[in-house]
Structure formats: structure tokens, C-alpha cells
Amino acid sequence: MSITLVKRRVIPGFGLTIGFTLLYMGLVFLIPVGAFLLYTTTMSWEAFWSAVTQRQVVASYKLSFGGSLIAASINLVFGTLVAWVLVRYRFPGKRFVDALVDLPFALPTAVAGIALVTLYASTGWVGQYLDIFGIRVAYTQLGVVLALTYIGLPFVVRTVQPVLEDLETELEEASASLGADRLTTIRHVIFPALFPALLTGYALAFARALGEYGSVVFISGNLPFRTEITPLLIVAKAEQYDYHGAAAIGTVMLVAAFLMLLIINGLQWWASRRHG
Amino acid sequence: MITPSTVIDTNDTIAKRWRRATEEPVWIRITLITIALTFLTLFLVLPLTVVLYGAFEHGIGVWYAAVSDPDALSAIRLTLLIVAIVVPLNTLFGVAAAWSIAKFEFRGKSILISLIDMPFAISPVVVGLIFVILFGSQGWLGPWLSSNDMRIIFAVPGIVIVIAFGTLPFIARELIPLMQQQGKEEEEASLTLGANGWKTFWYVTLPNIKWGLIYGIILCNARAMGEFGAVAVVSGRIRGETNTMPLHIEVLYNEYMFTAAFAVSSLLTGLALVTIAIKSAVEWNDERRQRIAAA
């Protein structure tokens, strides 16, 4: 205790910085989020329940949660593959490819949205070839999954990549020298080491996809019961001044987001404990 | 660079067999690289190309006409005004939060770090909704605001606050791990030698966190300019007044003015490319320094 007191005297500014941090967070988001949750509690339980269980809303949960699960799974497979290729292999333009992975993180979602729908519409660069096989992407649920995959792409790559970089090849050599073939080594040595990072990346990609709006609304076409995502319904209800309906659905999304945040924090804690 | 493994590799056949044991055969390597690059081309390169192609398809004159149209200019001006308010505030917040978290021990620190991450998890449309419900005409403070002739929703203050909310974590997330890793010995030395707190921050801390801070600011700036969902809820899309660049892109696209939509998009795309280029430069710099430190 005395040591921390002495240190506090050496480095100044604790009161100032923590004060500003808490004040700013409080004003910008803690008080508004709290007030929003309080607003929801002014609704009666019946009104809340009927707002969150409307048929159109339930259809949107299925698409938003289902689509996000599928998109995160696609990212789990391809993101791990991309991370593996970037860490383990050499090929021309690798640095450029590595940098490009962050693009969905930096490119505005509205720009991504119009780019994706232009590419995958039945007249687009990719869509016209898919059309030959009868595959339609734009204005279908497939398009929603595509946009959600795009938006979650950096997360699995960027959580798996550093763990792969730190992985010592000596372990794999030891495994091989003990007679394991490559597949056995991957299954029993590499996979367990990556497992926490894989789960974290999956959860991050899922959480990001769940709340996504901008990149989806252009390619989805927003057909009721078929390609409407939950965030779209929140916007629609807010625009019609149905604040109760919007707030009720918003609360469901907020609770889902908090749960994901808890899960992600738990996963990171578990990963750092295993790692350390 | 010659590492021990490459030396052994070329001289020793036994070592070669060892290497093969931790590496896949050539055909598997090529297949995996091909799959990865195909996936990234479909998802990253093609969208980028289609934006730039769409923007310049009809020549630079058409592109210029689209970005210098009065509505586009007003959207650009509004977007720049907003980042001029939001980015300095979030920078101040990021530095303050990182300073208190990295240099001091206090109870509830891990909770604070998780709270800083919270805006990442919340859907942008929910962010917009929160402020509509607080400040909208039918919202909690709406009647009071209108009786005092103040407007937050469907006006600039609302857009500023939702963007500040959405981009709040970016700079803090860059600085916290960086400053934690650097510890506090250098600052303590500076203070013991008689420099005051501000001088220590300016001459000791700031040079150490410079690159992380620059990347954080650039990323925060790019995300602030590109924020869409939250702004869509609070802006009311009043042309020439409350349309930011992404909203203007949406309006143009919905009016089938695709070339103009892509032209305005190309500006934000350029910004995104600059952002990821700076990120790579910062990482490359770090790697080089670590390699020098190790050698």
C-alpha cells in the first residue's frame, strides 16, 4: 500500500485523467445508455413483449442471428486459412495482402454496401456469372450473409495471426519426431494452441455482424419477412416515430451485445491465462 | 537475412527432412495460398476495384462534377466539421484514459477497460436510437428542448454526439496496450530529475506513443467520416444541411445516380486506403525496431 502511495506521488495527473475519462464516457455513452434502458422500463411488460415478438421482428431475428452465425463460421474457416498463409508461407505481394485485410475495418459501410450490390447484382461483374448457375445473391438472404461475411473478415484473421506467429515450430518438430504425421500434429498441437483465439475471433465476427446495418441494407433489398435484418426494423420504427417499438427491439439487441461482450472478455481472459 | 535454419537447410540433408516435417508439401502450400487469395480477391480487391472503376468510368470530368456538386460539397463540409469536433475530443479521451490506466493501479480498472470497448459492441442503429429517444421531438427531453428553441436530433449536434459515441474507443484502444507495455520507468526518471508532469508527458511519453497515436487518430478519423447507421437514424437526411458523405452516397445511389455515388465513395475509399497504409507503416516500423533491439 505504501509503495503505491509513493508511486502516485511521483507520476502526477491521476485525478485529472481519470476524472476526464469518466466524465467523457459518462456524458457520451454511459448516461445515454442508462437513460435508454430506463426508458424501456417505462413500457408495460405486455407492450414490450408484443413489440419484440411481432412476426416480422421474429423473422428478422432469425435472419440477423442465423446470418451472423453463418457469416462468422465462413470467416472462421477462411480467416484461419488466410492467417495461416500470411504467417507460414511466402508469396509475392504478401505485405500488400496483409494490409488489405483491414479494409472492411476502414472502409465506410455504405461504400462497402453499394460496392457489394453492384458486384453481385445479376448484371454485376460477379453476379452475371453466378446467374448462369441460377445463383442469386443480391436481394436474397445469401446477399445478407455475403455482406456480414465481408464486415467480419478482419476479426478472425487478426486474432489468430499473432498467436500463430508466437507458436514455436519446435513443438511441431517434436511432434513430428515422435512419429506424428502432419495431420495429427495439426490436430493435437496446432489446433489446441489456436483454440481460444479461434473462439474469440468467431465471437468478435459474430458480434460485429449482428449489429451491422450499412453494408447490408443495399444488397438485402429489405423484403419483409425475407431479407429484413433487425437493425433495419429499428431504423424503420424510429422513422415512423414508433419509439416504443424501436426501443423494445433495440433493448433486445443491446442485451445481445452485452452478452457477446461478456463472452468475448471471458474468452480473452481464458486465452491470456492459457497463454501466460 | 541468414538465419540458422536456412544455413542448415542448404547444407544438411537431415535438417531438410526435419523442415519437411513442419511444412506442408508444395502442392498443398500452393493450393492453400490460391484459396486464400481467391477469397480475399472476391471480398476485398473486387469491391475496391468496382468503387474506383465506377467513379472514373466516365472520365475525370464527370468525377469532378459529382464531387463538386453543391450537395456533395455541403456533405463534405459537414463531414469535415464533425471530425474537427469529434476527433480532438476522442484524442483527448484516449490519451487521458490510457494515462490513467497504464500509469496507475486502481480498483475497477479491468471494468473500465471493458467499458471503453462497449461502443464497439453496440449496433450503430441502436446508438442513433438512444439519442433519438433522449432528444427527439417525441423523446424525453424533446419538449424541453423545443421550448428552449434547441435542436439536437435532425441537426448537427445529434450527428456529432452519435459519431463521438461510435468512435470513442479507437484511440484509447491503440494507446492503452502501448503505454502499458512501455511501463512508467522513463516518466519516473524524468520526474525525479525535476521535470514537471506536462513536460514529462510532452518530451518523454508523447515521443514513445507517437506512432500508435497517429494511427489511432487516422483510424478514428476514417471511421468518423464513414459512420452510417447511427447518423442515418439521427440526421433526418436534410439535403445540404444534415447529410454527411455516407448519407449523400446513399441518397445518390437510391436516385440511381451511380457514377456520382461512386465518385463521392472514391474520396472515402482513398481515405480508407491511406488509413491501412499508415497502419502497415507503423507495424513495419515496430517490427524493424524490435529486430534491431533483438540483434
Q: How many CB atoms lie within 10 A of CB A102?
A: 20
Mean pLDDT of B116-121: 90
Which of A95, A106, A114 is the closest to B253 by Cβ? Answer: A114
Q: In sequence order, which residues have a C-beta less than 8 Å from that of residue A210 and are 6 or more positions away?
A: A64, A65, A68, A253, A256, A257, A260, B123
Q: Using the beta-carbon criterion (under 8 Å), do B39 and A78 form an inter-chain contact? A: yes
Give pLDDT, residue B21: 62
Q: How far apart are CA B63 and CA B47, in angstroms?
A: 18
Give pLDDT, residue A1: 43
Q: How far apart are CA B221 and CA B174, in angstroms?
A: 14
Which of B118, B191, B250 is the closest to A11 by Cβ? Answer: B191
Q: In sequence order, which residues have a C-beta less than 8 Å from that of residue B229 and are 6 or more positions away?
A: A109, A211, A212, A213, A214, A231, A235, B123, B124, B125, B127, B128
Q: In sequence order, which residues have a C-beta less than 8 Å from that of residue A242 and are 6 or more positions away?
A: none
For residue A255, what pLDDT band results from cuts at 50, 70 and 90? very high
For chain A, give the percent of residues with pLDDT over 70: 96
Indicate if the alpha-carbon torsion angle A25, A28, A32, A33 is positive or negative: negative
- Decide which of A5 and B223 is more confident: B223
Q: How far apart are CA A258 and CA A251, in angstroms?
A: 10
- Chain B environment of A39 (Cβ under 8 Å): 133, 140
Nearest-CA distance from A111 to chain B in Å? 6
For residue A103, what pLDDT band results from cuts at 50, 70 and 90? very high
Give pLDDT, residue B240: 81
**Can you give the residue ranges of every domain in chain B?**
4-51, 59-294
User: Which chain A residue has its CA at the smallest distance from B252's CA?
Assistant: A114
Give pLDDT, residue A275: 61
- Chain B environment of A153 (Cβ under 8 Å): 43-44
Nearest-CA distance from B276 to chain A in Å? 6
- Residue B204 predicted with pLDDT over 90: yes
Q: In sequence order, which residues have a C-beta less than 8 Å from that of residue B181 and are 6 or more positions away?
A: none
Cell of A123: 448484371
What is the 3 state secondary structure string of chain B?
A: CCCHHHHHHHHCHHHHHHHHHCCCCHHHHHHHHHHHHHHHHHHHHHHHHHHHHHHHCCHHHHHHHHHCCHHHHHHHHHHHHHHHHHHHHHHHHHHHHHHHHHHCCCCCHHHHHHHHHHHHHCCHHHHHHHHHHHHCCCCCCHHHHHHCCCCCCCCHHHHHHHHHHHHCHHHHHHHHHHHHHHCCHHHHHHHHCCCCHHHHHHHHHHHHHHHHHHHHHHHHHHHHHHCCHHHHHHHCCCCCCCCCHHHHHHHHHHCCCHHHHHHHHHHHHHHHHHHHHHHHHHHHHHHHHHHHHHC
- Residue A220 predicted with pLDDT over 80: yes
- Residue B208 predicted with pLDDT over 80: yes
Q: How far apart are CA A108 and CA B214, in angstroms?
A: 20
What is residue A27's DSSP assignment?
I
Question: Which of B27, B33, B269 is most worth mutating to test chain A (most A CB atoms within 10 A of its CB)?
Answer: B33
Give pLDDT, residue B10: 46
Nearest-CA distance from B10 to chain A in Å? 18
User: Which chain B residue has its CA at the smallest distance from A255's CA?
Assistant: B122
Question: How far, CA to CA in Å, does B245 sit from each of B26, B81, B170?
Answer: 47, 12, 21
Mean pLDDT of A21-33: 96
Mean pLDDT of B220-243: 92
For residue A273, what pLDDT band results from cuts at 50, 70 and 90? confident
Query: Is residue A215 a contact partner of residue A112, using CB atoms and an 8 Å limit?
Result: yes
Burial letters B147-173, b for 16+ CB under 10 A, else e: eeeebbbbbbebbbbbbbbbbbbbbbb
User: Which chain A residue has its CA at the smallest distance from B197's CA?
Assistant: A12
Least confident of A130-134, A181-185, B30-34, B41-45: A181-185
Give pLDDT, residue A170: 83
Q: How far apart are CA B148 and CA B139, in angstroms?
A: 15
Question: Which of B43, B111, B251 is most worth mutating to test chain A (most A CB atoms within 10 A of its CB)?
Answer: B43
Query: Is residue B210 a contact partner of residue B282, using CB atoms and an 8 Å limit?
Result: no
What is the C-alpha R_g of chain B?
25
User: Which chain A residue has its CA at the smallest distance from B266's CA?
Assistant: A111
- Chain A environment of B225 (Cβ under 8 Å): 108
Query: Is residue B126 a contact partner of residue B203, using CB atoms and an 8 Å limit?
Result: no
- Residue B6 predicted with pLDDT over 50: no
Nearest-CA distance from B97 to chain A in Å? 5
- Chain B environment of A8 (Cβ under 8 Å): 104
Question: Which of A29, A88, A105, A158 is most worth mutating to test chain B (most B CB atoms within 10 A of its CB)?
Answer: A29
Mean pLDDT of B172-195: 92
Nearest-CA distance from A85 to chain B in Å? 6
Give pLDDT, residue A6: 47
Give start and end residues of each alpha helix (H) in chain A: 2-10, 14-25, 31-41, 45-52, 55-88, 94-100, 103-106, 109-120, 127-132, 141-166, 169-177, 182-185, 191-211, 214-220, 230-239, 243-275
At A57-89, the pLDDT tens digits run 999 999 999 999 999 999 999 999 999 999 999
Tracing cell 461504400 back to the chain, one arrives at: A111
Mean pLDDT of A179-187: 84
Q: Using the beta-carbon criterion (under 8 Å), do B272 and A32 form an inter-chain contact? A: no
Give pLDDT, residue B105: 92
Q: How far apart are CA B268 and CA B175, in angstroms?
A: 25
For residue A125, what pLDDT band results from cuts at 50, 70 and 90? very high
Q: Using the beta-carbon criterion (under 8 Å), do A24 and B89 form an inter-chain contact? A: yes
Q: Using the beta-carbon criterion (under 8 Å), do B92 and A116 form an inter-chain contact? A: no
Cell of B110: 479491468
Q: Which fold has domain B59-294?
A: MetI-like fold (1.10.3720)
- Residue A8 predicted with pLDDT over 70: no
For residue A175, what pLDDT band results from cuts at 50, 70 and 90? confident
Task: Supply the mean pLDDT for chain A.
Answer: 91
For residue B140, what pLDDT band results from cuts at 50, 70 and 90? confident
Give pLDDT, residue A169: 81
Question: Which of B130, B191, B243 is most worth mutating to test chain A (most A CB atoms within 10 A of its CB)?
Answer: B130
Nearest-CA distance from A157 to chain B in Å? 11
Query: Is residue B241 a contact partner of residue B74, using CB atoms and an 8 Å limit?
Result: yes
Angle at A148 between CA A147 and CA A149, to 5 degrees: 90
Task: Supply the mean pLDDT for chain B.
Answer: 90
- Residue B151 predicted with pLDDT over 80: yes
Mean pLDDT of B159-171: 96
- Residue ranges of domains in chain A, CATH in brackets: 60-229 (1.10.3720.10)
Nearest-CA distance from B232 to chain A in Å? 8
For chain B, give the percent of residues with pLDDT over 70: 93
- Residue B13 predicted with pLDDT over 70: no
Instruction: Using alpha carbons, select from A201, A191, A198, A194 the residue that is nearest to residue A165.
Output: A194
- Residue A144 predicted with pLDDT over 50: yes
- Residue A233 predicted with pLDDT over 90: yes
Which of A85, A111, A218 is the closest to B269 by Cβ? Answer: A111
Q: Using the beta-carbon criterion (under 8 Å), do A119 and B46 form an inter-chain contact? A: yes
- Decide which of B120 and A70 is more confident: A70
- Residue B12 predicted with pLDDT over 70: no
Query: Is residue A255 a contact partner of residue A37, using CB atoms and an 8 Å limit?
Result: no
At B216-230, the pLDDT tens digits run 999 999 999 999 999
Looking at residue B98, its amino acid is A
- Decide which of B5 and A248 is more confident: A248
Nearest-CA distance from B47 to chain A in Å? 5
Q: At what angle do helices B258-294 and B245-254 cross, to 10 degrees?
A: 140
Give pLDDT, residue A186: 85
Cell of A149: 461475411
Cell of A273: 491465462
ipTM attached to this prediction: 0.91
Q: How far apart are CA B87 and CA A233, in angstroms?
A: 30
Q: How many CB pairs under 8 A join A and B?
A: 291
